[in-house]
A and B are shown apart, each in its own frame.
Chain A
């Protein structure tokens, strides 16, 4: 067995003279190995990733511990020497290539910069071309003369990876490299990374919040919670038989399109830096916690060769269960609730109208959940916006219970406006920061149902309970709430109007998986109890599998396929749907285990 090329021991990063953010991070990575570092927002995974390069965000500092790359110490080395090591010994691919690439440098110069920084003065175009072609980018000189903004998101990320591997460092740290890319592009990037790692035998640290993506590429997985690694082991055992209850919770939260199942979220919210408990940080949310868990922080114990767990009751952690998805059975009414026919929507730009949706027809029956699926730019959000009057369609018809709906909100009757409510993607933007939860939730009842302020306020407690929030939340302001709590308030606000159709525009894509699972479970529950129809817009097929009855797949503004969720996911007909299904990552915990994602079709 080869010697590890990256050794991290007792790494501790904290706020200068303040609380510790990352505690006792320790792991090793061998050449050709991929370590997946998984955790939800605030777990400290990016802090660890950056510390591997001897870097911390302003205000933070590496307090103690060691990072050793190919025999050279990173921690304790002065900034000048570190600069010489970064790129040559270890390099970093940040999350968003659109902001991390210098927009005023040509593609060829982006690569040359890296080579020049490490004294390779002779960098002819051929050398740059070779580096670009390594990540399947065209390397010819006309391509080298282009600027980053002329590339697609996927190409930008390839370029960032090309720059990172230019000097062939033994270790590369990838920080959420595919977050923000659509599934097909993500699959291609993942394939690229896997190929590079096979060909040049690099050690990779792959940081992500998405366990399904990590499982498809990593050979080992380290799960972080509240600044500590809570489980570390080979990919397969960690995914199929996690021993830490947090890992189990994460796995149960990941939606899966191969085996659609009921998602189970993790109760409670993650603890913040500075108010971590004395004992196990996960104990307050853990179903198998005992008083001893709150006494002291458990040690990372070895339970098998190479499998470490930080839990005193790891033997009791159950294996992941696959609860099949609860089907909502009801008699479909003969008449659809909402019909959209031959909808065409355009955006006006300087260079003429851009068609966002063309000839889109769909129906939603009362109580049904229809998913609109597509990549970014497929027009799915525009269709939702047309339905709720935020965009004026150029042609086509929208009807509610057989009656024509005008395109402008003020031409719709109060009852029509009441019947359709929307929940937006970004929970940080959808609540007015100056209005209390009570005010936000009670307002639609006043403006759309004509209730008095007192009557509307009296309903708030019941609405909050319906979205599983405690009554005391009513007096809070959005700034005091977490993302998941805000999204629940936004749902409660929509419910206050008493709608028969809820339009959900990517409502879970800004949330952590465990929170996403809880919100999806809530939506399923609401459908059952209120007989609510849902039009669910998403790019995530796993989410579709766990919530929708029927699916419409959109490609470039056109519906390319539609059918029941089972038919679309198991036997897709159109090439585009096949590509989407193949590219979606899956954990398949009861099947063959994690599978590598496929970039179906043309590799570019």
Chain B
């Protein structure tokens, strides 16, 4: 666990745990129902409503405590799904380096040609506010670039002596990919995963913002930013707190992913230096 050693990583871990805690335990501590019209719209914080009220008069604190789960879950689901598909395509393409490789990668290039937001809008108009479709659509947006990164890393690794030794032993392709190649490309994958998860969350937020993801009256950080933006001068907390939560989440994840990638890269780097 070398990667937890830097202080920046430890702080980021603390922040991440805090945000996850709010998102997953928070709902049980919400003082009000997330859809109760409890007070005067856009009233500022007071003893009864610690973060004030939103545009309908709902309690901002309760909605912040309850609104993290969907953003994190959908962002994470979309990212994981994207890695499963893109990673598999990239691994196979990078290792085979035959016609299969160029076939797969040209397919990815076609996907890459779609403007992501347009694609999301298309899916959303077609499937409505269908959350499964939303997750799949975001995953598809990520797949081609993940495939490219994984393919490059896998192609570089597959000419190494230890991979050739496995080929000469006649190990099965599945075993070679799993034993010899995958463990050696975690570095670039982790370095890429942090920003990608951020983008997923922002895409979930953007879709919600456009009114295509979660629909009111559901509590959702992204939705809160969009629905309360007109009252930002009256009760800024209703926008700032959910925005800060998203920021804290994405920044801490990036710091952690970077330091994992760094520690994974390190052992390989020192070997290169000794050469």
Tell me the A residues contacting B by CB distance below 8 Å.
Answer: 388-390, 409-410, 412, 414, 417, 421-422, 424, 426, 428-435, 440, 443-444, 447-448, 477-479, 490, 493, 497
Asked if B5 lies at the interface with its beta carbon under 8 angstroms from chain A, I say no
Q: List 15 contacting pairs A-B, 8 Å CB cutoff, sorted by A.
A: A389-B167, A389-B168, A390-B164, A390-B168, A409-B167, A410-B170, A417-B168, A422-B168, A424-B165, A428-B271, A430-B165, A433-B184, A433-B271, A479-B268, A490-B165
Residues of B135-175 at the interface with A, using a CB-CB cut-off of 8 Å, are 160-162, 164-165, 167-171, 175
* CB closest chain-A residue, reference B163: A432
Asked if B180 lies at the interface with its beta carbon under 8 angstroms from chain A, I say yes
B170 touches A414 (CB 8 A): yes
In the complex, which residues of chain A have a beta carbon less than 8 angstroms from the beta carbon of B168?
Answer: 388-390, 409, 417, 421-422
A435 touches B161 (CB 8 A): no
A424 touches B184 (CB 8 A): no
Residues of B261-275 at the interface with A, using a CB-CB cut-off of 8 Å, are 267-268, 270-271, 274-275
* CB closest chain-B residue, reference A443: B179
In the complex, which residues of chain A have a beta carbon less than 8 angstroms from the beta carbon of B175?
Answer: 447
Minimum CB–CB distance from B260 to chain A (whole Å) comes to 14
* CB closest chain-B residue, reference A425: B161
In the complex, which residues of chain B have a beta carbon less than 8 angstroms from the beta carbon of A432?
Answer: 160, 162, 179-180, 183-184
A426 touches B161 (CB 8 A): yes
In the complex, which residues of chain A have a beta carbon less than 8 angstroms from the beta carbon of B171?
Answer: 447
A412 touches B271 (CB 8 A): no
Residues of B243-275 at the interface with A, using a CB-CB cut-off of 8 Å, are 267-268, 270-271, 274-275
In the complex, which residues of chain B have a beta carbon less than 8 angstroms from the beta carbon of A444?
Answer: 169
Chain B contact residues, majority secondary structure:
helix
Known: A432-B184, A477-B267. A497 touches B169 (CB 8 A): yes
Minimum CB–CB distance from A491 to chain B (whole Å) comes to 12
A493 touches B165 (CB 8 A): yes
In the complex, which residues of chain A have a beta carbon less than 8 angstroms from the beta carbon of B169?
Answer: 409, 417, 421, 444, 447-448, 497
User: Per-residue 0/1 for B161-204: is the Cβ within 8 Å of any A Cβ (1 yes, 0 no)?
Assistant: 11011011111000100011001100000000000000000000
In the bound complex, what is the Cα–Cα distance between A493 and B270 (angstroms)?
23
A435 touches B267 (CB 8 A): no
In the bound complex, what is the Cα–Cα distance between A429 and B169 (angstroms)?
17
Residues of B8-44 at the interface with A, using a CB-CB cut-off of 8 Å, are none
In the complex, which residues of chain B have a beta carbon less than 8 angstroms from the beta carbon of A493?
Answer: 165
Minimum CB–CB distance from B264 to chain A (whole Å) comes to 9
In the bound complex, what is the Cα–Cα distance between A282 and B70 (angstroms)?
65
Known: A444-B169, A447-B169, A448-B169. A430 touches B267 (CB 8 A): no
Q: Which of A422, A431, A432, A448 has the most CB of B within 10 A?
A: A432
Minimum CB–CB distance from B109 to chain A (whole Å) comes to 23
In the complex, which residues of chain A have a beta carbon less than 8 angstroms from the beta carbon of B275?
Answer: 428
* Interface size classification for chain B: 20 to 34
B170 touches A429 (CB 8 A): no
* CB closest chain-B residue, reference A480: B267
Closest 9 CB pairs of A and B: A430-B161, A434-B183, A409-B170, A388-B168, A429-B161, A432-B162, A417-B170, A424-B161, A479-B267
In the complex, which residues of chain A have a beta carbon less than 8 angstroms from the beta carbon of B179?
Answer: 432, 435, 443
Q: Pick the contact of A424 from B164, B183, B267, B271 — CB < 8 Å?
A: B164
Q: Pick the contact of B160 from A409, A429, A443, A490 — CB < 8 Å?
A: A429
In the complex, which residues of chain A have a beta carbon less than 8 angstroms from the beta carbon of B167?
Answer: 389-390, 409
In the bound complex, what is the Cα–Cα distance between A516 and B274 (angstroms)?
18
Minimum CB–CB distance from A310 to chain B (whole Å) comes to 27
* CB closest chain-A residue, reference B175: A447
In the bound complex, what is the Cα–Cα distance between A409 and B183 (angstroms)?
23
A430 touches B170 (CB 8 A): no
A479 touches B165 (CB 8 A): no
A433 touches B161 (CB 8 A): no
Minimum CB–CB distance from A446 to chain B (whole Å) comes to 10
Known: A409-B170, A447-B171. A429 touches B162 (CB 8 A): yes
In the bound complex, what is the Cα–Cα distance between A33 and B183 (angstroms)?
53
B170 touches A428 (CB 8 A): no
In the bound complex, what is the Cα–Cα distance between A388 and B161 (angstroms)?
13
| New A-B contacts (16) at CB < 8 Å, excluding given A390-B164, A426-B161, A447-B171 | A389-B167, A390-B167, A409-B168, A412-B170, A417-B170, A422-B168, A428-B271, A428-B274, A431-B162, A433-B267, A433-B268, A434-B183, A435-B162, A448-B170, A479-B268, A490-B165
Minimum CB–CB distance from B252 to chain A (whole Å) comes to 27
In the bound complex, what is the Cα–Cα distance between A106 and B118 (angstroms)?
52
In the complex, which residues of chain A have a beta carbon less than 8 angstroms from the beta carbon of B160?
Answer: 429-430, 432
B170 touches A434 (CB 8 A): no
* CB closest chain-A residue, reference B168: A388
* CB closest chain-A residue, reference B271: A479
Q: Which of A426, A479, A490 has the most CB of B within 10 A?
A: A479
In the complex, which residues of chain B have a beta carbon less than 8 angstroms from the beta carbon of A477?
Answer: 267
* CB closest chain-B residue, reference A447: B171
Q: Pick the contact of A479 from B161, B164, B270 — CB < 8 Å?
A: B270
In the complex, which residues of chain B have a beta carbon less than 8 angstroms from the beta carbon of A422?
Answer: 165, 168
In the bound complex, what is the Cα–Cα distance between A429 and B175 (angstroms)?
19
In the bound complex, what is the Cα–Cα distance between A389 and B170 (angstroms)?
9
In the bound complex, what is the Cα–Cα distance between A422 and B274 (angstroms)?
24
In the complex, which residues of chain B have a beta carbon less than 8 angstroms from the beta carbon of A389?
Answer: 167-168, 170
* CB closest chain-B residue, reference A417: B170
Minimum CB–CB distance from A189 to chain B (whole Å) comes to 24
Minimum CB–CB distance from A60 to chain B (whole Å) comes to 15
* CB closest chain-B residue, reference A422: B168
In the bound complex, what is the Cα–Cα distance between A318 and B123 (angstroms)?
84
In the complex, which residues of chain A have a beta carbon less than 8 angstroms from the beta carbon of B162?
Answer: 429-432, 435, 440
* CB closest chain-A residue, reference B186: A434
In the bound complex, what is the Cα–Cα distance between A448 and B271 (angstroms)?
29
Q: Which of A434, A435, A447 has the most CB of B within 10 A?
A: A434
Minimum CB–CB distance from B268 to chain A (whole Å) comes to 6
In the bound complex, what is the Cα–Cα distance between A448 and B171 (angstroms)?
9
User: Per-residue 0/1 for B24-68: is the Cβ within 8 Å of any A Cβ (1 yes, 0 no)?
Assistant: 000000000000000000000000000000000000000000000
Minimum CB–CB distance from A408 to chain B (whole Å) comes to 9
* CB closest chain-A residue, reference B185: A434
In the bound complex, what is the Cα–Cα distance between A433 and B268 (angstroms)?
7
Minimum CB–CB distance from A148 to chain B (whole Å) comes to 24
In the complex, which residues of chain B have a beta carbon less than 8 angstroms from the beta carbon of A497?
Answer: 169
In the bound complex, what is the Cα–Cα distance between A443 and B175 (angstroms)?
11
In the bound complex, what is the Cα–Cα distance between A388 and B170 (angstroms)?
9
A435 touches B270 (CB 8 A): no
Minimum CB–CB distance from A576 to chain B (whole Å) comes to 30
